[in-house]
């Protein structure tokens, strides 16, 4: 498999983390997330969103959107539940991640730590407030649970871990979130875990 990848992207890290858990070999091709020129030429036939990660399977079929890639790779493994309702809950958390978490927590980190020259200061305050709302929602949910869905570690945890654990790089203070901190340590302790910089 070939992964169009970015070393700093949490969305790409999600895929690398699951591939590490699964012990699957793959090639990485680094794509800039700052200079986006040439995306249509590079990814146009592979991913309508022209984003990384994009995964090309060994048979040449390709898939975009980090959480759709996680879903596909996890089928038939222990990283997605068997129960149909829990599977829908996994998707609920992954859509929450892309709509209510990533645009704030990941984008603030990008503006502050990855590409500060592109940052518009006026963007950061509202995005931080929305990011804290997403963390509040996770804290409420995790206060009484070990993992986001059911009793086990799943791709829902992978999807939310990716940008939550690097939120402090954007200036988010995680000290006030004890349940999130316990959960972050639990995720990092899973067999086969790799770091974002691995």
For the chain, how long is the longest CA-to-CA vector? 47
163 vs 193: CA distance, rounded Å = 15
Which residue, 133 or 198, is less far from its own copies as judged by CB?
133
List Cα–Cα distances, 130 to 124, 193, 197, in angstroms. 10, 29, 26
Looking up tokens 């070999």 gives 25
Smallest gap from Cβ 75 to its own copies, in A, equals 6
Going by C-alpha positions, the residue among 178, 100, 113 that lies closest to residue 142 is 178
21 vs 192: CA distance, rounded Å = 5
What residues have CB less than 8 Å from 132, skipping those under 6 apart?
Answer: 172
Smallest gap from Cβ 2 to its own copies, in A, equals 16
Which residue, 47 or 167, is less far from its own copies as judged by CB?
47
Which residue, 138 or 167, is less far from its own copies as judged by CB?
138
Smallest gap from Cβ 108 to its own copies, in A, equals 15
Which residue, 48 or 192, is less far from its own copies as judged by CB?
48
Which residue, 121 or 191, is less far from its own copies as judged by CB?
121
Instruction: Determine how β-strand 27-30 pairs with β-strand 2-5.
Output: parallel
Going by C-alpha positions, the residue among 89, 57, 72, 58 that lies closest to residue 14 is 72
Smallest gap from Cβ 91 to its own copies, in A, equals 4
DSSP label at residue 29: E
Query: Given the rule CB under 8 A, which residues bind its own copies?
Result: 44, 47-51, 61, 63-69, 71-72, 75, 84-85, 87-89, 91-96, 98-100, 102-103, 137-138, 140-141
């Amino acid at each position: 498999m070939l992964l169009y990848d970015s070393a700093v992207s949490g969305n790409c890290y999600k895929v690398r983390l699951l591939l590490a858990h699964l012990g699957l070999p793959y090639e990485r091709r680094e794509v800039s997330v700052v200079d986006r020129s040439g995306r249509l030429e590079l990814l146009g036939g592979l991913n309508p969103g022209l984003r990384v990660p994009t995964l090309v399977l060994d048979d040449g079929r390709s898939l975009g959107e980090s959480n759709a890639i996680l879903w596909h790779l996890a089928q038939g493994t222990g990283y997605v539940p068997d129960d149909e309702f829990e599977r829908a809950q996994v998707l609920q958390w992954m859509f929450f991640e892309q709509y209510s978490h990533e645009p704030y927590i990941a984008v603030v980190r990008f503006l502050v730590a990855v590409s500060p020259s592109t940052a518009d200061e006026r963007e950061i305050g509202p995005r931080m407030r929305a990011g804290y709302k997403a963390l509040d929602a996770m804290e409420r949910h995790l206060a009484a649970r070990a993992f986001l869905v059911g009793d086990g570690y799943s791709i829902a945890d992978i999807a939310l871990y990716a940008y939550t654990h690097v939120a402090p790089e954007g200036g988010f203070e995680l000290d006030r979130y004890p349940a999130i901190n316990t959960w972050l340590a639990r995720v990092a302790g899973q067999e086969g875990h790799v770091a974002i910089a691995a």
